[in-house]
C-alpha cells in the first residue's frame, strides 16, 4: 500500500511491504521486525540478528571483519573457567598445549597399553628392576639381548649344550674325539686318534713250562719284544763234613723283532731247571726260534769246610740285551748252605741254615736252587731244585 502520514503512525499489525519483504511495527511493545512478523526485541532482523536498545546489546550468530573498531568488548578473566564450565569430552588433544599433561595430571593406573605409542617406552623411562620373568613374553629374548658372558653354568640347564651348540669346524665320525682347533679360528674339530707307527702294546704270551711251544704270529702284528731265560742250576747237597753251594741262575736275552723278520710260527723252547743233589744238576738252555737264546745255570756241589769257590750263571745270546744270571759262592763253613743265584726275574732259592731247617729252597723262573745244610733232622740236608726257564713275548700292533 502507499505510505502516508496517517499510515506512518498506524499500527501495522499485519506488516507492510512488497511481496517477499516484511516490515513489522509493534507499537505497543515498541518493536520493529525486519523479515519477521514477530519481533522479540527493539529491532530484530530475521531470526539471527537482535538489537536490545535499552541495554546496548547486539546479538548475532556470526560477526565479520577484523574487529579492530569494536570497543567495550568483555573478556573472560584469568582462571575464571574451571571444570564445571567444560562440556564432557570437549577438550581433545588439539586443545592441549605441548607438555601440558604430566604425572600430576594423570590418575593412578589410568594409562594402559592402548595409550602408549609404539617404541615410546625406552630403558630411560623404566624403573630399576621393574622387568622380571612375569613381564617377559616367551621366546622373545634372543642373542642380541644377552650381554656377553652373561650365561654361565649356573644359568644353563642340564644337558642344554649338545653337538649342535658347539662351535665345531667339521663333521665327525665314530671313534673320533674333539680337539682344540689350531690357528686363530677358535672352536673345536673332530680328530682321529693317532696311532703310533711303532705299534701299541696289546698284551703278552707267557711260556713257563719246560717244553717246546709253538708261537703263532697274529694278524696286524707290528713287532714283538721277547725275553728268553734259561733254566736255573740245582743246589748242592750236604753231608756231615761238607756244605752245599747254591745253583746259579740261567742267563736272559731280550730282543725286539720286527714282524717281517718273524715266521708265521716260531718255536719257543723253555729249558728245565736242574735238580738239587750232589752235585746239583745244570739248568737247560732256552731259545726263541733262531733269534735269541740263553744258557742254563750251573748246579751247586758240596764243599769241604774251609774251601770256597764261585760258580758263574748262564748268559743270554743273540739278544739286543744279553744278561748273565747271578752266580753262587760256597760258604766253606762246613755247616750252612749258600743261596741260589737270582735270574732276571729274581727268586733264588734260600740255603739250608740250621739243624731244624737243613733243606734248601728251590729257585723260580730260571733262578738257582739253594745249597743244603750239613746235617739235621732225619740226616743230611738236600739242595733245592733250580727254577724252570721262562719265555715272555710282548706283542705290538
Alpha-carbon separation of residue 207 from 222, 248, 281 (angstroms): 21, 21, 22
Predicted pLDDT at 331: 61
What single-letter DSSP state applies at residue 202? E
Give the list of residues 6+ apart from residue 385 with CB closer than 8 angstroms, or none.
234, 235, 273, 274, 275, 276, 349, 362, 363, 369
pLDDT given for residue 11 in this prediction: 45
Residue 154 has a pLDDT of 75
In the prediction, which pLDDT does 68 show? Answer: 66
Contact 340, 368 (CB under 8 A): yes
Check if the beta carbon of residue 305 is closer than 8 Å to that of residue 241: yes
Exposed, middle or buried: residue 188 (CB in 10 Å: 0-12, 13-18, 19+)?
A: middle
- Asked if 203 contacts 378 with a C-beta cutoff of 8 angstroms, the reply is no
Q: How far apart are CA 229 and CA 366, in angstroms?
A: 6
Q: Quick one: pLDDT at residue 1? A: 44
Angle of CA points 203, 388, 383, to nearest 5°: 150
Measured CA to CA, the distance from residue 32 to residue 103 in angstroms comes to 58
| C-alpha–C-alpha distance, residues 199 and 218, integer Å | 14
d(C-alpha 374, C-alpha 352), whole Å: 8
CA distance 39 to 41: 6
pLDDT at 341: 93
SS3 for 248?
Answer: coil
> 339 phi and psi, to 5 degrees?
-70, 150
Q: What is the separation, in whole angstroms, between the first and last Cα of the chain?
A: 145
Q: Which three cell numbers stand for residue 232?
A: 736255573
CB atoms within 10 A of CB 49: 16
* Residue 376 and residue 397 in contact, taking contact as beta carbons nearer than 8 Å: no
- Residue 220 falls in which region: left (phi positive, over 0), alpha (psi -120 to 50) or beta: left
Backbone φ, ψ for residue 5 (5° rounding): -60, -35
Per-residue pLDDT in tens (0 to 9) along the chain, 397 residues: 454 545 444 444 555 544 455 888 888 888 888 888 888 877 878 777 777 777 767 777 766 666 666 666 666 677 777 777 777 777 777 777 777 777 777 777 777 777 777 777 777 777 777 777 677 777 777 777 777 777 777 777 776 777 666 677 777 788 787 777 766 555 778 777 766 566 788 899 999 999 999 999 999 999 999 999 999 999 987 766 667 888 999 999 999 999 999 999 999 999 999 999 888 999 999 999 999 999 999 999 876 655 667 889 999 999 999 999 999 887 655 567 788 999 999 989 887 766 556 677 788 999 999 888 766 555 667 888 999 999 999 999 9
| The model's pTM | 0.52
Quote the pLDDT of residue 9: 44
Domain segments of the chain as ranges: 11-59, 202-397
Separation between Cα atoms, residue 207 and residue 203, nearest integer Å: 14
How many CB atoms neighbour CB 147 within 10 A? Answer: 6
Amino acid at each position: 500500500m502507499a505510505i502516508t502520514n496517517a499510515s506512518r503512525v498506524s499500527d501495522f499489525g499485519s506488516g507492510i511491504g512488497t511481496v517477499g519483504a516484511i516490515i513489522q511495527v509493534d507499537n505497543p511493545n515498541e518493536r520493529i521486525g525486519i523479515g519477521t512478523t514477530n519481533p522479540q526485541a527493539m529491532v530484530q532482523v530475521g531470526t539471527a540478528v537482535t538489537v536490545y536498545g535499552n541495554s546496548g546489546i547486539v546479538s548475532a550468530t556470526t560477526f565479520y571483519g577484523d574487529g579492530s573498531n569494536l570497543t567495550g568488548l568483555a573478556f573472560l578473566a584469568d582462571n575464571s573457567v574451571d571444570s564445571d564450565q567444560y562440556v564432557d569430552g570437549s577438550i581433545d588433544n588439539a586443545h592441549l598445549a605441548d607438555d601440558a599433561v604430566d604425572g600430576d595430571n594423570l590418575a593412578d593406573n589410568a594409562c594402559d597399553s592402548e595409550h602408549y605409542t609404539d617404541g615410546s617406552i625406552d630403558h630411560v623411562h623404566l624403573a630399576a628392576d621393574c622387568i622380571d620373568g612375569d613381564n617377559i613374553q616367551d621366546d622373545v629374548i634372543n642373542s642380541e639381548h644377552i650381554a656377553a658372558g652373561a650365561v654361565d653354568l649356573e644359568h644353563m640347564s642340564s644337558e642344554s649344550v649338545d653337538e649342535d651348540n658347539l662351535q665345531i669346524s667339521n663333521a665327525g665320525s665314530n671313534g673320533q674325539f674333539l680337539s682344540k682347533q689350531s690357528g686363530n679360528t677358535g672352536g673345536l674339530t673332530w680328530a682321529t686318534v693317532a696311532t703310533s707307527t711303532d705299534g701299541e702294546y696289546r698284551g703278552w704270551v707267557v711260556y713257563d713250562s719246560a717244553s717246546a711251544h709253538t708261537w703263532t704270529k697274529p694278524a696286524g702284528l707290528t713287532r714283538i719284544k721277547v725275553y728268553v731265560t734259561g733254566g736255573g742250576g740245582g743246589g748242592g747237597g750236604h753231608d756231615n763234613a761238607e756244605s752245599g753251594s747254591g745253583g746259579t741262575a740261567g742267563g736272559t736275552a731280550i730282543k725286539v723283532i720286527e714282524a717281517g723278520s718273524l715266521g708265521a710260527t716260531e718255536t719257543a723252547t723253555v729249558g728245565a731247571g736242574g735238580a738239587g743233589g750232589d752235585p746239583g744238576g745244570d739248568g737247560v738252555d732256552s731259545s726263541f726260534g733262531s733269534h735269541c737264546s740263553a744258557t742254563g745255570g750251573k748246579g751247586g756241589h758240596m764243599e769241604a769246610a774251609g774251601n770256597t769257590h764261585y760258580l758263574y750263571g748262564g748268559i743270554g745270546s743273540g739278544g739286543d740285551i744279553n744278561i748273565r744270571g747271578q752266580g753262587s759262592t760256597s760258604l766253606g763253613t762246613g755247616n750252612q748252605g749258600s743261596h741260589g743265584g737270582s735270574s732276571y726275574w729274581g727268586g733264588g732259592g734260600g740255603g739250608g741254615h740250621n739243624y731244624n731247617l737243613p733243606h734248601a729252597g728251590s729257585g723260580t723262573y730260571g733262578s738257582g736252587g739253594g745249597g743244603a745244610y750239613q746235617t739235621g733232622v732225619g740226616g743230611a740236608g738236600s739242595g733245592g731244585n733250580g727254577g724252570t726257564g721262562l719265555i715272555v713275548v710282548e706283542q705290538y700292533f
